[in-house]
Structure 1
């Protein structure tokens, strides 16, 4: 990474240069392969007060250039705020790259084959079972089952192949539909 530090209307002391360089070095943790980083510090006097402007220009390969401008009355505060904004921009780009993983055509074909194999395996395991509900039952058998189980009702098919419901009434007796 090429680092360029420039001061306009401002002399960059060793401490300022060291702070700027350390700030730029902190951006390496995002692994975005920064080609070059230019830091331009300018000063201007407005209404008798001195204001500092920091501009970070980060060139990234195959992506847009990130430009961050920050104004403040304190030079070090302007550098720190600009650094935070640059980190936020790089974090967004990094997260976008990591989260939006492109899946290749071969990987999709492999997934489709896996799904088909699982479906074929499941077909082999299906065993048709006749439910007890459709077997003809006597009302007395259902009544004894209902008393033993504590259920409120039982649905069954009687010997005449009619669907019937045997239920417990509120008065403790049993009803039959």
Structure 2
């Protein structure tokens, strides 16, 4: 497994690196063939009066993004908590994969590899010729990602795996972009577009 460890407001010492590697390796040892890459961000709050140390991990397992984040007063405790959370999420992911593969009439779709996608998107010309460098508008961060059509229950499953409050997806039935989110008092909600 390829493991990238980054630190924000802290130096990633060899001890922290070894501890993180050991905890994550132990958390995914049953799933190691499935997890190809993990991106770890360790951070310490800038304000010394706020003892908050965060461990955030994003894993790529068979084309699925699994993300977890934990905060505590101790970086090692945050790493322990995030490793446990990832292990639970991977178990849920495997159980769901197992259930889907054994249900009648269902065939899993294959996720194309990076080589296939990059091959389809080859560029013949210069992307920078005739252009001036410019900075994006302040406080705007853009993210781009593929949105294969999926059913609502698949979107809910993805919401659990990425550990966010919402998940944007393209509905398999009508092709519309929708947002599924966690409600404050429990349960989920869906935001759907409507013609004006």
What's the TM-score, normalizing by structure 1?
Answer: 0.53
Alignment RMSD, CA only? 2.0
1:81 aligns with 2:45: no
**Greater Rg by CA:** 1
Distance in 1, Cα, partners of 2:29 & 2:37 = 11
Unaligned segments of structure 1, at least 5 residues: 106-177
1:62-105 per-residue CA deviation (whole Å, 9 max, x = no partner) reads 3x311111111100100000111100100001111223314579
User: Structure 1 residues 82, 102: CA separation in 2 closer, same or farther (over 3 Å shift)?
Assistant: same
Contact map agreement 2:68 2:86 (CA 8 A) in 1 = yes
Distance in 2, Cα, partners of 1:104 & 1:49 = 53
1:12 aligns with: 12
What's the TM-score, normalizing by structure 2?
Answer: 0.48
Contact map agreement 1:32 1:94 (CA 8 A) in 2 = no
Distance in 1, Cα, partners of 2:76 & 2:25 = 16
Pairing of 1:1-177 with structure 2 (within 5 A): 1-26=1-26, 27-31=28-32, 33-46=34-47, 48-62=49-63, 64-100=64-100, 101-103=102-104
1:139-170 per-residue CA deviation (whole Å, 9 max, x = no partner) reads xxxxxxxxxxxxxxxxxxxxxxxxxxxxxxxx
Number of residue pairs matched by the alignment: 104
1:120-148 per-residue CA deviation (whole Å, 9 max, x = no partner) reads xxxxxxxxxxxxxxxxxxxxxxxxxxxxx
User: Structure 1 residues 102, 32: CA separation in 2 closer, same or farther (over 3 Å shift)?
Assistant: farther
1:135 aligns with: none
Contact map agreement 2:3 2:38 (CA 8 A) in 1 = yes
How much does 1:39 deviate?
Answer: 0.8
Superposition misfits of 4+ residues, deviation over 3 angstroms: 102-105
Unaligned segments of structure 2, at least 5 residues: 107-196
